Structure 1
Amino acid sequence: MKLVSVIVLLAPLLTICKAEDLPVDCNEIHRTDKSALSGVYTIAPNAERSSVRVFCDMHTDGGGWTAFHIRIDGSLNFYRPWDTYKKGFGNPTGEYWLGLENIHQLTHNRQSELLVFMADTDRKNLTAWYSAFSVDSECDGYALHVSGFTDGGGGDGLSYHDGQKFSTYDKDQDATKLNCAQVVGQGSWFKNCRRSAGYRIENDEKLYAVGTEWFKWKGHIHDIKQIVMMVRSYK
């Protein structure tokens, strides 16, 4: 798999915004225009609802990736309630969450793959790739479905959580007696807090296992500086 460094996030931005006929995702843009550059575009995962701005990676492994989860420096607070995780927050040029409803719409009845890009403080870049990725509707708790793992050095950090509903501090749907979103300090798909994903906050001793962006690579206490999760439809 050909890789492009996460510094692509800092590349010159190219923005499109049309009043109608917006693309569903970044791959539709890429299929239409193979010369399209990586940058911020406007898409409409659900044509009946409002559009959304996303970062499109048009280079990694053939391009057409829609970034839905971006952590690059810990500058944005991800300890947020259910409604915020549902709608999305942040800036696609920096730290960002696309929104559970948008992720569901991107993967609903569409075959999609997932690429996870990680970088540590030593600038070591690793990936994890899943050939099948989807998120259920809100009625089903925005449950995660992921399979077909291929190791790019980071190990399999998501298959353990396959089938798990999404949890936030005000909507606990994890598989433990604890509230993992409160324990870790962000919303996610949690089967067990000890094998979950968070983000290190310097000198913060109040939260357990903060900094565990990818358990299979770094464990609980070591920092992963950057993580980007991107989805691409292929049918």
Structure 2
Amino acid sequence: MIFGYILFVCFLPDLSWSLLPRECSEIKGDNLTSGVYNIYPDATAAAVQVYCDMETKNGSWTVFQRRLNGCINFYRDWNSYKNGFGNPSEEYWLGNEAIHEITSHGNHELRIEMTDFDGNFKYAEYRVFGIGDEADGYPLLIFSYTGTAGKDKCIIFNITYGDSLYKSIHSHTTNSMKFTTYDRDNDIHPYNCAKIYSGAWWYTDCHLSNLNGKYLGGYHKSAADGIEWYTWKGHNYSLKTVKMMFRKY
């Protein structure tokens, strides 16, 4: 008698990538401190170094921009902002591609922290944050501002108190605005806003914030080309430090 056997072969999925942290909120451990960690925004790519804020408001923030002392030039081209540049332990930009990859998975909030040269601190938070893909120009998505990033009630341009990111000039908003660099003009101004104001940003026509502008060390005579947050310091003051970060919720 001949007995037949059916062999069942089970292929288990490779779960190793799913265990790797896509962002700072997925890093596990006890007593985590702020610092540089490896994350994996794209499960098929190598690790990316990022600064994680593990302390502010219970931590888990992925920091994608830091301005500290002007040691890094932020007036850069499209590919530099796509791929990232600088040193996450100092000044850097994480990279638009990584920001897109991370924020396209789940809900995220944005927090921006700023200081001036007198030691004053302000912050802006947006309950909704993300950016689209490169094919669409890395468009910005933000909603629901809260914070302290204003000097007083600002009725110019109908700006919400302290909000220099969502609302732009002439009743435009930055929502759905594409990212602009000096070699990729995606704004709605007749000229390239990145060239005019020495930065790279989600400009409209042009801006009320320019956090990737030149490090000019406080008050300056040139208009709006420094690290600007209009509702706090206007267009002739370049901030001392900035930290932009997001977190999943």
Normalising to structure 1: TM-score of the pair? 0.85
Q: Corresponding residue for 1:227?
A: 242
Which deviates further from its counterpart, 43-52 or 167-176? 43-52
Deviation string, structure 1 residues 172-199 (Cα, Å, up to 9, x no partner): 0011112111111121110122424023
Deviation string, structure 1 residues 59-93 (Cα, Å, up to 9, x no partner): 10010000001111112111111011100000001
One-letter code aligned to 2:87: N
- 1:157 matched to 2:164: yes
User: Alignment RMSD, CA only?
Assistant: 2.1
Normalising to structure 2: TM-score of the pair? 0.81
Q: Corresponding residue for 1:182?
A: 195
Which deviates further from its counterpart, 190-199 or 220-229? 190-199
List aligned pairs for 1:56-75, cutoff 5 A: 56-75=52-71
Q: Corresponding residue for 1:10?
A: none
Q: Corresponding residue for 2:131?
A: 135
One-letter code aligned to 1:164: M
Secondary structure of the corresponding residue to residue 70 of structure 1? strand
Secondary structure of the corresponding residue to residue 188 of structure 1? coil
Separation in 1 of the partners of 2:191 and 2:67?
25
Aligned residues of 1:114 and 1:230 also touching (Cα < 8 A) = yes
Q: Corresponding residue for 1:16?
A: none
Separation in 2 of the partners of 1:62 and 1:41?
17
Q: Corresponding residue for 2:155?
A: none
Aligned residues of 2:114 and 2:123 also touching (Cα < 8 A) = yes
Separation in 2 of the partners of 1:24 and 1:76?
26
Q: Corresponding residue for 1:87?
A: 83
Aligned residues of 1:199 and 1:213 also touching (Cα < 8 A) = no
| Structure 2 gaps, min length 5 | 1-15, 151-161, 168-173
Secondary structure of the corresponding residue to residue 102 of structure 1? helix
Report how far residue 153 of structure 1 moved.
3.5
Q: Corresponding residue for 1:191?
A: 204
Among candidates 20, 23, 27, match of residue 21 of structure 2:
23
Aligned residues of 1:183 and 1:208 also touching (Cα < 8 A) = no
One-letter code aligned to 1:119: T
Q: Aligned residues: percent identity?
A: 43
Separation in 2 of the partners of 1:202 and 1:148?
30
One-letter code aligned to 1:192: D
